[in-house]
Structures are given as structure tokens and as C-alpha cells.
């Protein structure tokens, strides 16, 4: 069975073949991943199409439609194919349909197909057609001192100078000051090595503006029939404008991510760090080892990248606990394997030593083929909300005075124990303090609360480690006995509880002597509901109270089906 990637590549080839078969009049070009035109591989079948000449598709498109070229290019990189309508400089009065098709996996290029049409453009563009197009390629001849000897007509059109204004002028005077050192370095290398050198720089137009150009200098000095340096100039201002637009968008994205309240961490599938924002370091209070702002692939150029990047990820997440790191790794593995979203809470310990919690939302990054190329993780400090949630859970589970389970919590635990379905016996010990009302009436409710706290402490001390103690209300307590062997063990525990809950209690206002009445009920895990078992223990407790001796009483066995 073919993979989704194979199916995607085959679909792209079929689209390209169909367009080429149907439109032999089209212009075609091969494009490298950076958008520069390269030769079309022989493996790409053509049906009489001519090749588009130039450095980029930009070169032949009117300025107003160059954004369409950019948008179509990124769409093809993302989705595998794109379509847009543009107008060409050579014939701006007619629309051309531009197709980009991603054949990188199968043929090593993106294929550009330009299909002419008879659809007329607007009058403004027709006017543009009547005006001569500005050349994008020109030449100069210079002497060994880099002074102009001659220029072609295309140069004068590109830069607005007459030949008379140029001849004898020093070329360096027309190069942008920021680019002059690079131009001199290339000129010296050309003279010393006698090999052609290429320089990208900005050259001044006659109106004072600057044009980005690629300059190739060829050394023909002291050769028969010629004694000059040939300078070939290509206008790359559209390409540089597109790069500047992308850089502006990247800067905008960087500023936005730095302004986010969440920390961001981007990883590739080898767990190499591609990007992180400064907020991530602020939240986790970890050092990136590469500066305070961010870690990118460029930061590790020239080093053993896989190892260095792996250490970067470990450094970024160094404040996670061992358990927290294991949780994150497990979730990340699921994202890489299945492409599914994962949200996990992990614990981390910053240099202050305070244990904190972070929510890590991990999302897969997908290629156009559906293949996972990496993951982006949003990190948010949720310590305060986690503590608030824990406090709410505590309040919903435990009695605020005695810190025993509250009524709902202990009955829920009892019911879950009965529903486990194993062969063990579950027991309930019901405890009620005799004459507790008199404590409140004579000593006050504060003294009564103090008694309840002391009773709860004694009951917990008398219980087994696996048992739970709950307060039903007032002076009534329930002990849940898990996995006991039978009523005999339950009664021994109940006897210990009855003794601990009876006797003298030293209070801040004096001492009181109390006794507890205790009832016991047992059931196989599938024999009763929790409410029924407590009612049976309650009934046994009343028989204990009637006896007036503080001895536990075992409830009779239930005859419920």
C-alpha cells in the first residue's frame, strides 16, 4: 500500500502532466526551493513548451501582480500546488494563468507553468504595455581602476544616466556606502584570481534612489583585442523586496510571540529546538545557554548541531522535575506518532525552590502531505489556578473542621468500594458521641468543636492505614474498612475505636468525659449499596447506645437480594 506522501507526489505529477499535455503553448520553468529558476530536469516530460528565461518568475511579471506570485509560491509550498492570474511585462494587456506544482520529491524542482489567455486586462495595464519595459539586465566595461569605459543602452535605461555622464566615473561612487567594502573585496578577488566574482549590492540611480543588483565581474584585462573588465548587472530589486516583506512578516511574528503571555517552544521530530520565545525562559526560569531572547537553528551553525540542539532542549526544560519531564516526553511522543493534540500539567522547580505547575499544550506541525514535521508547545504557569482547583477539590472532599471526609465524599468512597467486584468484605463502623449536646450547651460551641477535633484525631490514630474516616454531620463519624476478612476483624477495629473515642478530653476551657456508641455492619462487595450499609451500622449504633456501655454492636446480616 502506498504511503500518503507517495500518493501526494503522484497526484502532483498527474496534475503537471495534464496541464502540459493540454497547453503546449505554455511557458515552463524549474524552480529551486529558494524560488530561483533552474534548468528543467530531463525527467519532467514536456510537449513542446518553451522555457521561461530569467532569474525568477518575478522578472517577467508586472509590479502590481508580484504579490500574487508570492502568495501562489507559499501556497504551493504548503499545499503542493497553486494557481493564480498575473500579467507579464511583455504583454500586460492579457492575463496569464500561473501554476506552481511541487515536484521536489520526485524531480527535485517546483515546476512553474504559465498559460497565456485571451482575457483582456484593464485599460491601466494596457497603457503600461505601450510604455517600453525597463530592462532588467545590462553591462558595463571598466578599466583596472574601476572607472567606466562604456555602457550599453540597457544600463542607461535602468539607471537613468547618459553614456557621457558615466564614462570616466569611478564605479565605487555609485555603490551604497554600506555595500562598498563588499564590492571592493570582490573586485580585488577578481583581479588577483582572474576568476569571475559575483557581488550583491545597491547601486544609485540618477534620481538618487537605490536599486538592488547582482553584479558579476569578469577579468579580460591584458587579453588580445580587449583590455577591460566586463560587468554584468541583473536587477534583483523585486526579489529583495519580497525578502524584505518576508523579513518584516517574520519580525512581526517574532514580536507577537514575544508579547504573548505563553511561553513557546518549537521542536522538530528529532527534538531539536527550532525556536523559543523569551517568555518561556521567564516562566520556567531556565537559561537557554544561547542568550536571553531565543534559541534558533542559526545559533548553532558550525557546531555539532544534533548534540548541541538536544542539549538546548534539555537546558530550556531543566527546571522540570523528573516526573514532569517524563510526562512531557510521553505526550510529545504521542504527538509525533499520531499527530494528536496533547495537554499535560507538569511540575517544575525554579531556582527559588518553590514547586510550581505549568500547563503544556503540545500541537503537531504538519506538512502538506499530512506528515508530522515537528511540534509547537505553549507553556503557561498555572500554579495559582492549580492551587485554587486543589483547594476547591479539598473543600468538596473534606470536612472543614475535622479534615475528615465529608458526608458525600465518604459515601462515594464506600459505594466505589462495594462496586469493585472482588471477593473481599467491606465494613462500616458508625460512631456517635453520647451526650455531646451537653458540651455545647454548658461549655459553648467552641468547646464542642475542640472535642470533635480531638475525637477525629483519636479515630484516625485507631484506624488502619487503608481505612477512611468521614464525618456525616454533628458528632457522627463513619469509618470505612476496606478489604477485611470478615465481621471478626471489623469488631476488633470497632472495639479499638470505641475505646479511643471514650474517656477524658482535655480542652482549653477544662476537661470533659465522654463515651461513644459504636455500630458495625459488614457486606460482601456486591451485597449492599453504601447507603444501606450505613443505615445498618446506624441501627446497630442505636442498640449500642441503648446498652449504655460504650461497646460496639454488630448489625444483623442483610437479607436483601
In 10 A of CB 37, how many CB atoms? 20
Residues with Cβ < 8 Å from 166, sequence gap 6 or more?
140, 148, 151, 155, 156
Average pLDDT estimate for 124-130: 48
277 and 403 share one domain = no
Of 246 and 87, the structure prediction assigns the larger pLDDT to 87
Q: What is the DSSP string of 207-251?
A: TS-EEEEEEEEEEEEEETTEEEEEEEEEE-HHHHHHHHHHHHHHH
Q: Are residues 494 and 519 in the same domain?
A: yes
Is residue 123 located within the same domain as residue 145? no
Residues of the chain above pLDDT 70, percent:
89
For residues 300 and 364, membership in a common domain is answered with yes
Q: Are residues 124 and 150 in the same domain?
A: no
pTM score above 0.75: no
In a domain, 202, yes or no: yes
| Residue 255, in any domain of the structure | no
Q: Are residues 438 and 520 in the same domain?
A: yes
- CATH number for the domain including 17? 3.30.450.20
> Which tens digit of pLDDT belongs to each residue from 5-39?
566 667 788 889 999 999 999 999 999 988 888 88
pLDDT in tens, 504-525: 888 888 888 889 999 999 986 5
Burial of 496 (0-12, 13-18, 19+ CB in 10 A): middle
Residue 393 lies in a domain: no
> Of 105, 130, 155, which closes a domain?
130
- Tell whether 177 and 116 lie within a shared domain: no
Let me know whether 164 and 224 are in one domain.
Answer: yes
Looking at residue 406, which CATH number applies to its domain?
Answer: 3.30.70.270
Residue 483 in any domain: the answer is: yes
- Please answer whether residues 534 and 411 qualify as being in contact, where contact means their C-beta atoms are separated by less than 8 angstroms: yes
* Contact partners, residue 422, CB within 8 Å, separation at least 6: 525
Percent of the chain with pLDDT over 90: 41
Query: Stretch 317-330: mean pLDDT, rounded?
Result: 93
- Could you write out the DSSP letters of every residue in 150-162? EE-HHHHHHH---
The parent domain of residue 310 ranges over: 263-386
- Which of these three, 93, 110, 130, is where a domain ends? 130
In a domain? residue 245: no
Residue 460 lies in a domain: yes
| Closest of 144, 153, 364 to residue 268, by C-alpha | 364
The answer on 31 and 147 residing in a single domain is no
Residues 363 and 424 both lie in one domain: no
Same structural domain, 75 and 53: yes
CA gap 108, 91 in Å, rounded: 31
Last residue of a domain, one of 90, 105, 130: 130
Residue 419 in domain? yes
pLDDT computed for residue 560 by the predictor: 45
Q: How remote is the C-alpha of 45 from its chain's centroid?
A: 41
Residues 477, 369 share a domain? no
Residue 172 included in any domain: yes
- What's the structural domain count of the chain? 4
Task: Quote the CA–CA distance of 536 and 521 in Å, as a whole number.
Answer: 6
Question: CA nearest 436: which of 404, 397, 407, 477?
Answer: 477
Amino acid at each position: 500500500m502506498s504511503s500518503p506522501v507517495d500518493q501526494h507526489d503522484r497526484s502532483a505529477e498527474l496534475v503537471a502532466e495534464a496541464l502540459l499535455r493540454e497547453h503546449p503553448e505554455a511557458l515552463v520553468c524549474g524552480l529551486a526551493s529558494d524560488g530561483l529558476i533552474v534548468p528543467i530536469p530531463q525527467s519532467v516530460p514536456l510537449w513542446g513548451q518553451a522555457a521561461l528565461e530569467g532569474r525568477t518568475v518575478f522578472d517577467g511579471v508586472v509590479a502590481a501582480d508580484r504579490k500574487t506570485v508570492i502568495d501562489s509560491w507559499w501556497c504551493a509550498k504548503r499545499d503542493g500546488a497553486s494557481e493564480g492570474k498575473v500579467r507579464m511585462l511583455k504583454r500586460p494587456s492579457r492575463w496569464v494563468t500561473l501554476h506552481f506544482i511541487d515536484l521536489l520529491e520526485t524531480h527535485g524542482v517546483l515546476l512553474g507553468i504559465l498559460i497565456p489567455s485571451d482575457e483582456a486586462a484593464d485599460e491601466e495595464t494596457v497603457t503600461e504595455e505601450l510604455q517600453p519595459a525597463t530592462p532588467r539586465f545590462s553591462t558595463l566595461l571598466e578599466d583596472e581602476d574601476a572607472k567606466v569605459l562604456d555602457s550599453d543602452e540597457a544600463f542607461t535605461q535602468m539607471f537613468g544616466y547618459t553614456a557621457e555622464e558615466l564614462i570616466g566615473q569611478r564605479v565605487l561612487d555609485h555603490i551604497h556606502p554600506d555595500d562598498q567594502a563588499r564590492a571592493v573585496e570582490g573586485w580585488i578577488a577578481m583581479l588577483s584570481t582572474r576568476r569571475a566574482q559575483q557581488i550583491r549590492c545597491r547601486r544609485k540611480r540618477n534620481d538618487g534612489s537605490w536599486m538592488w543588483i547582482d553584479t558579476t565581474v569578469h577579468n579580460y584585462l591584458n587579453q588580445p583585442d580587449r583590455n577591460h573588465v566586463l560587468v554584468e548587472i541583473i536587477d534583483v530589486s523585486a526579489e529583495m523586496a519580497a525578502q524584505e516583506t518576508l523579513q518584516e512578516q517574520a519580525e512581526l511574528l517574532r514580536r507577537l510571540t514575544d508579547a504573548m503571555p505563553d511561553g513557546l517552544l518549537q521542536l522538530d521530530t528529532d527534538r531539536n529546538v527550532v525556536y523559543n520565545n523569551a517568555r518561556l525562559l521567564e516562566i520556567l526560569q531556565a537559561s537557554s545557554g544561547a542568550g536571553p531572547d531565543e534559541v534558533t537553528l542559526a545559533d548553532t551553525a558550525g557546531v555539532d548541531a544534533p548534540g548541541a540542539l538536544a542539549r538546548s532542549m534539555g537546558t530550556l526544560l531543566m527546571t522540570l522535575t523528573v516526573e514532569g519531564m517524563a510526562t512531557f516526553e510521553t505526550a510529545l511522543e504521542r504527538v509525533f506518532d499520531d499527530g494528536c493534540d496533547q495537554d499535560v500539567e507538569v511540575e517544575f522547580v525554579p531556582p527559588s525552590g518553590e514547586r510550581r505547575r505549568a500547563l503544556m499544550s503540545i500541537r503537531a506541525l504538519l506538512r502538506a502531505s499530512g506528515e508530522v514535521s515537528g511540534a509547537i508547545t505553549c507553556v503557561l504557569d498555572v500554579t495559582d489556578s492549580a492551587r485554587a482547583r486543589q483547594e476547591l477539590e479539598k473543600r468538596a472532599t473534606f470536612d472543614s473542621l475535622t479534615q475528615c471526609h465529608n458526608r458525600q465524599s465518604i459515601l462515594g468512597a464506600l459505594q466505589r468500594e462495594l462496586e469493585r467486584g472482588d471477593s473481599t468484605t467491606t465494613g462500616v463502623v458508625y460512631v456517635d458521641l453520647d451526650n455531646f449536646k451537653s458540651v455545647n450547651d454548658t461549655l459553648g460551641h467552641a468547646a464542642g468543636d475542640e472535642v470533635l477535633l480531638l475525637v477525629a484525631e483519636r479515630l484516625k490514630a485507631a484506624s488502619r492505614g487503608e481505612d477512611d474516616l468521614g464525618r456525616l454531620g454533628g458528632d457522627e463519624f463513619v469509618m470505612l474498612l476496606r478489604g477485611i476478612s470478615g465481621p471478626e476483624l471489623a469488631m476488633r477495629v470497632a472495639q479499638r475505636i470505641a475505646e479511643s473515642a471514650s474517656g477524658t478530653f482535655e480542652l482549653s476551657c477544662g476537661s470533659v468525659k465522654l463515651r461513644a456508641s459504636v455500630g458495625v455492619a459488614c457486606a460482601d462487595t456486591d451485597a449492599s449499596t453504601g447507603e444501606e450499609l450505613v443505615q445498618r451500622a446506624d441501627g446497630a449504633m442505636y442498640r449500642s447506645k441503648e446498652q449504655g456501655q460504650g461497646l460496639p454492636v454488630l448489625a444483623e446480616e442483610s437479607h436483601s437480594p
